[in-house]
Amino acid sequence: MIRSMTGYGEASSESGSAHHFLELRSLNNRYFKATIRLPDEFQGLEAELEAELRKRLSRGSVTLVARASDSSAHAAFGINHAALENYIRQLKNTPQVASGEVRIDLGPLLGLPGVMVPPADEEARLEVARTAFMALLERACASLIAMRNREGAALVEDLLAQRDVIETHLRTVSDRAPQVVEDYELRLKSRIELMLKDANLRIDPPDLIKEIAVYAERSDISEEIQRLGEHIKQFTELVTASGGKPVGRTLDFLAQEMLREANTMASKSADSMISRSVVEIKGAIDRIKEQVQNVE
CATH number at residue 26: 3.30.230
Question: For the stretch 230-267, what's the b/e string if a residue is b when 16 or more beta carbons lie within 10 angstroms of its beta carbon?
Answer: ebbeebeebbeeeeeebbbeebeebbebbbebbebbbe
Number of domains in the chain: 2
Among 9-23, 215-229, 250-264, where is mean pLDDT lowest? 215-229
CA angle 89, 92, 96 (to 5 degrees): 155
Estimate the crossing angle of helix 205-218 against helix 122-199, to 10 degrees. Answer: 170
112-154 confidence digits (pLDDT tens): 887 777 665 667 788 888 999 999 999 999 999 999 999 999 9
* Pair (70, 135) in one structural domain: yes
- pLDDT at residue 198, rounded to an integer: 56
* Pair (26, 55) in one structural domain: yes
Could you please report the per-residue DSSP string of 25-84?
EEE--SSEEEEEE--GGGGGGHHHHHHHHHHH-SSEEEEEEEEEEE-SGGGSPEE-HHHH
Q: Per-residue confidence at 23, pLDDT binned at 50, 70, 90?
A: very high
* Pair (12, 25) in one structural domain: yes
Nearest to 215 by CA among 169, 260, 182, 244: 182
Residue 91 pLDDT more than 90? no
* Pair (137, 50) in one structural domain: yes
34-55 confidence digits (pLDDT tens): 999 998 888 989 999 999 999 9
Instruction: State which amino acid sits at residue 169.
Output: H
Q: How many CA atoms lie within 13 A of 56 on its CB side?
A: 21
In a domain, 33, yes or no: yes
- pLDDT at residue 271, rounded to an integer: 77
* Pair (57, 93) in one structural domain: no
Q: State the chain's mean pLDDT as an integer.
A: 83
Which residues, 6+ apart, have CB-to-CB distance to 13 below 8 Å?
19, 20, 132, 135, 136
The mean pLDDT of 160-166, rounded to a whole number, is 96
- pLDDT at residue 222, rounded to an integer: 79
* Pair (64, 84) in one structural domain: no
Residue 7 pLDDT more than 90? yes
In a domain, 37, yes or no: yes
In a domain, 90, yes or no: yes
Identify whether the C-beta of residue 96 lies closer than 8 Å to the C-beta of residue 102.
Answer: yes
Q: Per-residue confidence at 186, pLDDT binned at 50, 70, 90?
A: low
Distance in angstroms (rounded) separating the CA atoms of residues 154 and 151? 5
In a domain, 60, yes or no: yes
In a domain, 261, yes or no: no
Q: Per-residue confidence at 223, pLDDT binned at 50, 70, 90?
A: confident
The mean pLDDT of 195-214, rounded to a whole number, is 54
* Pair (71, 86) in one structural domain: no
DSSP at 93 = T
Residue 69 pLDDT more than 90? no
* Pair (47, 65) in one structural domain: yes
Domain of 99, in residue numbers: 78-109
Q: 110 or 35, which is more confident? A: 35
In a domain, 143, yes or no: yes
Which residues, 6+ apart, have CB-to-CB distance to 94 below 8 Å?
102
DSSP at 200 = T
Residue 217 pLDDT more than 70? no
* Pair (13, 58) in one structural domain: yes
* Pair (140, 60) in one structural domain: yes
Most confident segment among 116-130, 252-266, 267-281: 252-266
Residue 88 pLDDT more than 90? no
* Pair (140, 67) in one structural domain: yes
Identify whether the C-beta of residue 137 lies closer than 8 Å to the C-beta of residue 20.
Answer: no
* Pair (129, 63) in one structural domain: yes
In a domain, 53, yes or no: yes
Q: 227 or 99, which is more confident? A: 227
In a domain, 209, yes or no: no
Three state DSSP letters for 105-158: CHHHHCCCCCCEECCCCHHHHHHHHHHHHHHHHHHHHHHHHHHHHHHHHHHHHH
- pLDDT at residue 154, rounded to an integer: 93
Among 23-37, 198-212, 244-258, 273-287, where is mean pLDDT lowest? 198-212
- pLDDT at residue 246, rounded to an integer: 87
